[in-house]
Structure 1
Amino acid sequence: MIQLLIVDDEAHVVDRLYATIDWASLGIEQVYKAYSGKEALELLEQLSVNIVITDIQMPGISGLQLIAEINRRWAKTKCILLSGYSDFNYAKEAILQGTEDYLLKPVTEQDLLATVKRVMDKLQKEWETVFSAQRLTYTFKENLPLLRGNLLQDLLQGQHVSELSLRNKMQMLELPDYYKQEFVFMMIRLESDFLEYDTGRLSLMEYAISNMVEELFAEKLDSWHTKDAHDYLVFVMKHKQETPEKGDMAWLERTASVLQSAVNTYLKGKISILLSTWGQFPEELNTMYNASLSTFRKRIGSEHELFMRLGEESVHTELSALQRLYEPPTLNHLLEAARWEDTEEKLSRIFDEMEKRFSESQEHLLEIYFSVASAFAYIAHKNGRQLHQLIGDDYNRMTEGIPFRTVNQLREWSNRSLQRMKEDMDQERKDSRVTLINDIRSFIDQHLASDVSLQSIADHVFLHPVYVSKIYKLETGENLSDYVNQTRMDRAVYLLKNGPDKIYEIATQLGYQRPHSFNHAFKKHYGMTPQEYRDHYT
């Protein structure tokens, strides 16, 4: 979306260019106005403007000073100078400031549109360079370790990814094919002196340990690692293609012990290591990760430089916990983002797991109930509402303490309550937008003779100009500037037909600085001048 700003201390020039030029023909969606360099800078601080058309001679901040400041602070914004001066020194200074073009007043619509189109084409080419395949490939390669770590982090947290999507992501990130392969899981906690390091030095130590792991285990295993939310280094390793057999667990333990010793000797720090049993990727990844966290908490605790292997019994113990309820994204996050369909899907997965694994467990049923009710109350209160206002009679069951005896009862209550919350919030948003549109139109109707710029409208409703512009178009299907122009034309027709006011008086009542600007806009809209219209219809 291209946005353009017109700057001139002569208000009639700004208004004429704003109202009479067919900016939409170039695909320019929004045009802003400023009547001084100071006002232009204030707008640029709030708005994402692509092209600025500015007069060269203005009191206070001149056009050249404005362009210099724009180049310093918003390098991607292009500037076009308008001037009544043909002096070569002005043109030379404009070129030195990096101005895209220098046009002499009075400029024709054809010349102005051609210049703006040329600047837009230049912007397009610059962005194409930014997104060029070669540059994107280079940037992608640079960030591969981070991207790989982020994907593993999502999988550790239990995020559901389809087979096709996961395979595609792993291929894109140039990872070995882990899918349906057996893997072993190694978790490393940095301890003792490492804990005293600053962030930069600690990152170097983590990088060094990761390199050590790759060096020591590369003989038999491919490795993939990340740093988790608990500051553990987590490695997922599988056998290389040329050695597909399960391998020797004793070799893994010996190699992990060598790693522990090497870190102590060469990096002067202590680490604790937990090594898992073999599991299948990705089905058992989240389960084994949670089991490893639990074992670290229960068996290793605050002791340093320990080595432990995760036994089968530890994994099975973790299986008694609900998984879907706590995997990201959480219910709170989904509700905050108003992702209603995703919330429904998450609830479905939660209850499917409950029916499959814990259908007879009242304790697990209560765990889900408390979590769902808490999430509903959280989002209601965050939106300034009471939960009972949103879910109606279903709230009574909560206050009366009537338990849910079956999974199906809780599922129905949750889905019904969610639907009521969605309907209420959708209606509230719709009502608030209708109120906003009415407020905007009322302000325009009452202030046509003064300032009805997007900035003044936004200030009136205490919202950001870009938001006001987008919401207005979203709700009405037309640009706000089109509504302002149409309102002026409708008012002009009424005054021409029904009042004695002279043309210049009508122009002033409609907010035009000069009758010429009004004549130009009216003729462009109706195909005749205001006087011709009055003569024809009265």
Structure 2
Amino acid sequence: MYSVREHLPEKRAELMKDVLLGHRFADAGLVGKLEQLEIGFRPQDKMQLLLIRYDDHQPTHKAFRLMKYAISNVVEEIYGSAYHLCHTDDTYDDLVFMASPKQPQAEPEMLMGRLGERLLHSVRQYLNATISLSVSRMGRFPDHVPQLYHQAVSALRKQAEAGKGLHLNAAAGSRGASLKSLAALYEPPGLTTLLEAGRMEDAKRKMDQIFTELSNSVFPEHVYVAFHYLAAAFSYMAHREGRQLAEVLGEQYQQLLKDGYGISLRSLETWTRSVMQQWVEGTNDSGQDAGSTLIRQVQQWIDHHLGEDLSLQVIAGEVHLHPVYLSKMYKQSTGEGISDYIIRSRMERAVHLLKHTAMKIYEVGQEVGYHNTPYFIQVFRKHYGLTPQDFRNG
């Protein structure tokens, strides 16, 4: 028992990193992991992100890690009485805390801001250190985590020249006009989902969409945010497939890290397409069995027919298999049922339409296969904890 508890922090950080990178879990499976790791929040709980960047130079990596450990303890002490907390490190070795209120709060963003100021003061006073802090707007765990994170990164970038120790509140701009325009990053299915399913042609098209949108963007921070998004997707896949991170990301990755906020669109695209090409070649070399090919076909067909009848019988007919056999094989290959994938895909598409179009609620419902509007609202509320209209207004 002692050995298990000894490794809890490491296991919690691994799970939170998967959530941060957009890995999808069936709700029941995620609840089981959260309970096993003694994490206090559950799917669809309200939460905010704290992105903490340690600004001071340390002479050794060990000293740097010790300081981050000390900062984490200060965060736990200040926020722990009001929030369930869990944290991990991101690609840039910044601390990312997920904080879910233990009790309903009348003014949650004001409380988070006050505690943030207290955190900055305590780190300066007791650790003689300075940090930069970005606090996200309120969202739902785990669905909103990746986008909240990228918004927090962008907010931190915008204030990089304003001085160390600055407390930011990414909630102030809610969705933020600039990030909202980068629809290609968040339009489902995401890049991680496509890579995980082995849908390489779809992943290439996704990248084409991202770089087309970046080339038309007038916001320099979009390139930095896109780099972070792409690096996170590739890092997750390297971890999932047991491949060396340096092997997947290549030598150019280190130079892009050094470029930081000055990264150019051209260098980002060159690196991204190189990594993608090597990944495709590695996938082809390892071979694809008939089962994984079939799963890709099923998911692609579902993604292109979200507004139609997606009964198991219809899908099985498209791939010429018995419904029972298809259902069993899909569950064994992916860890979730076909119906889980359908609902998740429909809800992700609905979220995208609510955020990026002016379609009426009933039109969004019809677009994703729900012709009974009250039922669409019911399913959406069950999945996200709020109605489509509340989500759009939030």
Name the TM-score, length of structure 2 as normaliser: 0.50
Q: CA deviation at 1:304?
A: 1.3
Contact 1:270 1:304 (8 Å CA) reproduced = yes
Report the Cα distance in structure 1 between the residues aligned to 2:165 and 2:112, rounded to whole angstroms: 17
Q: Deviations over 1:452-495 (max 9, x none)?
A: xxxxxxxxxxxxxxxxxxxxxxxxxxxxxxxxxxxxxxxxxxxx
Aligned residue number for residue 291 of structure 1: 151
Give aligned pairs, total. 232
Aligned residue number for residue 164 of structure 2: 304
Q: Deviations over 1:210-236 (max 9, x none)?
A: 111111112211111111111111111
Q: CA deviation at 1:267?
A: 0.7
Aligned residue number for residue 198 of structure 2: 343
Contact 1:191 1:304 (8 Å CA) reproduced = yes
Report the Cα distance in structure 1 between the residues aligned to 2:124 and 2:154, rounded to whole angstroms: 25
1:177 pairs with one of 41, 44, 60: 41
> Is 1:143–2:7 an aligned residue pair?
yes
> Is 1:204–2:66 an aligned residue pair?
yes
Aligned residue number for residue 379 of structure 2: none
Report the Cα distance in structure 1 between the residues aligned to 2:45 and 2:283, rounded to whole angstroms: 46
Percent of aligned pairs with the same amino acid: 24
Contact 2:194 2:202 (8 Å CA) reproduced = no
SS of residue paired to 2:136: strand
Contact 2:39 2:85 (8 Å CA) reproduced = no
Q: CA deviation at 1:253?
A: 1.2
> Is 1:256–2:116 an aligned residue pair?
yes
Aligned residue number for residue 219 of structure 1: 81
Report the Cα distance in structure 2 between the residues aligned to 1:291 and 1:149, rounded to whole angstroms: 21
1:367-406 paired onto structure 2 within 5 Å: 377-379=277-279
Aligned residue number for residue 178 of structure 2: 317
**What amino acid is aligned across from residue 284 of structure 1 in structure 2?**
H
Q: CA deviation at 1:188?
A: 0.8
Report the Cα distance in structure 2 between the residues aligned to 1:380 and 1:151, rounded to whole angstroms: 26
Contact 1:184 1:238 (8 Å CA) reproduced = yes
Report the Cα distance in structure 2 between the residues aligned to 1:327 and 1:376, rounded to whole angstroms: 11
Q: CA deviation at 1:348?
A: 6.0
Aligned residue number for residue 164 of structure 1: 28
> Is 1:276–2:111 an aligned residue pair?
no
**What amino acid is aligned across from residue 378 of structure 1 in structure 2?**
Q
Report the Cα distance in structure 2 between the residues aligned to 1:232 and 1:365, rounded to whole angstroms: 28
User: Structure 1 282/381 Cα, relative in aligned 2: closer, same or farther at 3 Å?
Assistant: closer
Q: CA deviation at 1:178?
A: 2.9
Contact 2:132 2:156 (8 Å CA) reproduced = no
Q: CA deviation at 1:254?
A: 1.6
1:236 pairs with one of 68, 87, 98: 98
> Is 1:189–2:53 an aligned residue pair?
yes
Contact 1:158 1:327 (8 Å CA) reproduced = no
Report the Cα distance in structure 2 between the residues aligned to 1:174 and 1:349, rounded to whole angstroms: 35
Contact 1:191 1:271 (8 Å CA) reproduced = yes
Q: CA deviation at 1:155?
A: 1.0
Q: Deviations over 1:371-410 (max 9, x none)?
A: 997667435766999xxxxxxxxxxxxxxxxxxxxx98xx
Report the Cα distance in structure 1 between the residues aligned to 2:272 and 2:114, rounded to whole angstroms: 46
Q: CA deviation at 1:200?
A: 2.1
1:498-513 paired onto structure 2 within 5 Å: none
Q: CA deviation at 1:251?
A: 2.4
SS of residue paired to 1:160: coil
Q: Deviations over 1:110-142 (max 9, x none)?
A: xxxxxxxxxxxxxxxxxxxxxxxxxxx332211
Q: CA deviation at 1:329?
A: 7.3
Report the Cα distance in structure 1 between the residues aligned to 2:85 and 2:194, rounded to whole angstroms: 29
Report the Cα distance in structure 2 between the residues aligned to 1:162 and 1:245, rounded to whole angstroms: 28
1:12-31 paired onto structure 2 within 5 Å: none
Report the Cα distance in structure 2 between the residues aligned to 1:306 and 1:154, rounded to whole angstroms: 28
**What amino acid is aligned across from residue 205 of structure 1 in structure 2?**
M
SS of residue paired to 1:343: coil
Q: CA deviation at 1:300?
A: 2.3
Name the TM-score, length of structure 1 as normaliser: 0.38
Report the Cα distance in structure 1 between the residues aligned to 2:105 and 2:162, rounded to whole angstroms: 36
SS of residue paired to 2:84: strand
**What amino acid is aligned across from residue 208 of structure 1 in structure 2?**
A
Q: CA deviation at 1:148?
A: 0.5
> Is 1:265–2:125 an aligned residue pair?
yes
Contact 1:185 1:234 (8 Å CA) reproduced = yes
Aligned residue number for residue 445 of structure 1: none
Structure with more relative contact order (C-alpha pairs < 8 Å, separation 6 or more) = 2
User: Structure 1 307/176 Cα, relative in aligned 2: closer, same or farther at 3 Å?
Assistant: same
1:482-493 paired onto structure 2 within 5 Å: none
Aligned residue number for residue 132 of structure 1: none
Q: CA deviation at 1:319?
A: 3.6
**What amino acid is aligned across from residue 221 of structure 1 in structure 2?**
Y
Q: Deviations over 1:82-122 (max 9, x none)?
A: xxxxxxxxxxxxxxxxxxxxxxxxxxxxxxxxxxxxxxxxx
**What amino acid is aligned across from residue 216 of structure 1 in structure 2?**
I
Report the Cα distance in structure 2 between the residues aligned to 1:317 and 1:159, rounded to whole angstroms: 25
Q: Deviations over 1:415-470 (max 9, x none)?
A: xxxxxxxxxxxxxxxxxxxxxxxxxxxxxxxxxxxxxxxxxxxxxxxxxxxxxxxx
Q: CA deviation at 1:295?
A: 1.5
User: Structure 1 372/221 Cα, relative in aligned 2: closer, same or farther at 3 Å?
Assistant: closer
Report the Cα distance in structure 2 between the residues aligned to 1:211 and 1:315, rounded to whole angstroms: 31
User: Structure 1 297/362 Cα, relative in aligned 2: closer, same or farther at 3 Å?
Assistant: closer
Report the Cα distance in structure 1 between the residues aligned to 2:2 and 2:152, rounded to whole angstroms: 36
User: Which structure would you say has the larger Rg?
Assistant: 1
Report the Cα distance in structure 2 between the residues aligned to 1:376 and 1:273, rounded to whole angstroms: 33
